Amino acid sequence: MQSPPPCSTLIIGYGNTLRSDDGAGQKIAETVESWGLEGVSSLAVHQLTPELAAEMAQSRQVIFVDVYPNTGDSNGVQVTPINPKNSHSPLGHASNPQSLLALCQVLYRVTPASYWVLIPAENFEFGESFSPLTTQNIPRALEEIQMLLSRVEDYARS
């Protein structure tokens, strides 16, 4: 098996673009793709599927982008490292990043550094526009992604 390129990052933005704020993950993946950064690729997908593990195995770092329902406790972007040990079933349906990372580890014996970038959301009704809360946090999520990308570049240089 080939080792992943030294500075590769895969962005996976997911959610339903027809459910208002839920489409923000895909929007961010498309934005990052438009930057045209070397060693960075992006996928905008409706949902996480087991087939994504093959793409992940070719990357040094994977950044998942999604939304979380705003409950009023927190209204900011959250960045969380992902650990495959949090998954209950590595070979089952990969419907969350932990399961998908565990599947990548089992099938390809590769565990890329993985993060979850979560954007607060409040509108999941049918529609294609974002709420003010989600709209104001998209640039913040992009800044967090840029910081994660620079960490990989710093690691590759050392």
What CA–CA distances, in Å, run from 31 to 61, 65, 111, 112?
A: 18, 12, 26, 22
pLDDT per residue as tens digits for the range 53-82: 999 999 999 999 999 998 877 779 999 999
Place of tokens 């990308």: 149
Residues 73-127 pLDDT 10s: 777 999 999 988 655 544 444 579 999 999 999 999 999 999 999 999 999 999 9
Distance separating alpha carbons of residues 90 and 140, to the nearest angstrom:
31
Q: Is the pTM of this model over 0.85?
A: yes
For the chain, domains (ranges, CATH) are 9-157 (3.40.50.1450)
Q: What's the order of all strands across the beta sheet hosting 40-45?
A: 40-45, 9-14, 61-69, 113-121, 78-81
Asked if residues 66 and 35 have their Cβ atoms less than 8 Å apart, the reply is no
- The DSSP bridge pattern shows strands 78-81 and 113-121 to be antiparallel
